[in-house]
Amino acid sequence: MAAPLDLPVAALAAAVKKGDVSATELARGALERIREKSALNAFLHVSEAPVLAAAAEVDRKRAQGEPLGPLAGVPIAVKDALCTTDAPTTCGSRILTRRGPDGRPGGAAAGWCPPYDATAVARLRAAGALLVGKTNMDEFAMGSSGENSAFGPAKNPVDPTRTPGGSSSGSAVAVAGGMASASLGSDTGGSIRQPAALCGIVGIKPTYGRVSRYGLVAFASSLDQVGPFARDVRSAAHVLSAISGADPRDSTAAALPAGDYAGACERDVKPLRIGVPEEYFAEGLDPDVAERVRAAIAALEREGCAVRPVKLAHTHYGVATYYIVATAEASSNLARFDGVRFGLRIEPERASLVQMYGATRDAGFGAEVKRRILLGTYVLSAGYYDAYYKKAQQVRTLIRRDFDDAFEDVDVIATPTSPTPAFRLGEKVDDPLAMYLGDVYTLPASLAGIAGISVPCGTTKARADRPALPVGLQLLAPAFGEEKLLTVAAAVERLAAS
């Protein structure tokens, strides 16, 4: 029998409500697992005192017969890009950590403490969730492997010598490693879907505007989205229900209520039409990944889905377009980290130019963040704006139209999530372009602002150079089409288990 902490989210919340397990017991169990698996480096900060206090409050409410929220007692981890009042928020960066007496930056525990909660975090608290800590990530969400964290990379629980994916690396590891029942990540160009695929769990990138971005430290404001990780589709659906909805503090949050996401997981997949774009099965796709993805699509067809080809002609422009649009927005968003409002504080007596550069070398941005700021500033500069940024926005419109046209004929599009399974830590660090191409299948959906999910669809074959590794199937639906997405994802999950 599974330990209580390993139950699906809904079953765990139900067990707490019935008194079969206490929230305090679950909190202590999660904290113990985090300690046991500290070598995976999933967490930058563990909220031991706050989570135990929250668990005691859940237990008090239950004992007194007060109503409990839908996630009462469920341990959930939060990416360190989301603001929390009871834990530091560092975005995996030295620039948001305080310096010690020696002038050197401290660790993540010495990070900036926000005066408010992100809306998604506040909604989890309101639902009764136990927020166990802040998870590791690529610095300011810029990366595809977790290796850009200033505090060292998180490690894939399937094989700790391999990347868990990025930038929401720690959030994926926390769930895959059993340290939390679910977690929140952020997805700008694939940073939920890609680590979900590489770790063998479920990750949802909601439609842009489905979940409030208030309190999410911005990377690229027209692309960033908050979404959940979980070990099964229905659990991810429950968390998505809790965090979705309009928010008066975020003008980009759609004025739409959450859908019946858990109910969608039980619906019949038979009438749905599945589109398969051949552009996503081109050169560079690992043969084992292609085989597992095509097998999952074939299983859906046997289940009664109509499978048909679709054309997404501008897919091959996705990487170039994304790395112009996203870096341009990053160069603007990160201009606030100037050492005055956030970041390094330099005492007047140490503020000579030479000393300033010496003091900031270890406390400033890492190499990848600098690279993207420089690229973004360049494409926005006079003489290059029209040639690069304006052109990228025009191509972005073409990519969005490709999806609009495809969704006239199909309900959901099925593709690989990542072209390869998890690669070795350090394998691509010195080749930024190879790293960027790891998101080639997730970037177009982000540019279009549509809904996406990665769901496990098997593993690669074990070989002499690598063990069997998880493969993710990416499903895409039109904007605010999360219910159809979850219906198909749940069917994939059931068929894979049968």
Among residues 131, 130, 133, 125, which one has the least CA distance to residue 242? 125
Catalytic residues: 79, 167, 191
CA 19 to the chain's CA centroid? 32
Answer whether 251's CB lies under 8 Å from 209's CB.
no
Terminal Cα distance for the chain, rounded: 19
Q: Tell me the C-alpha distance between 351 and 114, whole Å.
A: 26
Determine what percent of the chain falls in helix, strand and coil, rounding each to the nearest 5: 45, 15, 40
Distance CA 71, CA 183 (A): 12
Place of tokens 């209520």: 257
| Residue carrying the six token digits 């095509």 | 294
- Per the structure block, which two tokens stand in for 183? 């977690």
From the CB of residue 315, how many other CB atoms can be counted at a distance below 10 Å? 21
Question: Angle at Cα 27 formed by Cα 265 and Cα 56, nearest 5°?
Answer: 110
| Helix (H), strand (E) at residue 39 | none
Return the amino acid letter for 39.
Answer: A
3-state secondary structure of 100: coil
Query: Any idea what DSSP says for residue 387?
Result: I
Residue 468 near residue 459 (C-beta atoms within 8 A): yes
Residues 6+ apart with CB under 8 A from 36: none
Give the amino acid at 457.
C
Give start and end residues of each alpha helix (H) in 381-451.
391-406, 432-436, 443-448
Query: From edge to edge, which strands make up the β-sheet containing 182-187?
Result: 43-46, 130-135, 75-79, 182-187, 225-230, 202-205, 451-459, 470-477, 412-416, 273-277, 306-310
Q: Which two tokens stand for residue 368?
A: 């990848």
User: 393 by DSSP, 3-state: which?
Assistant: helix
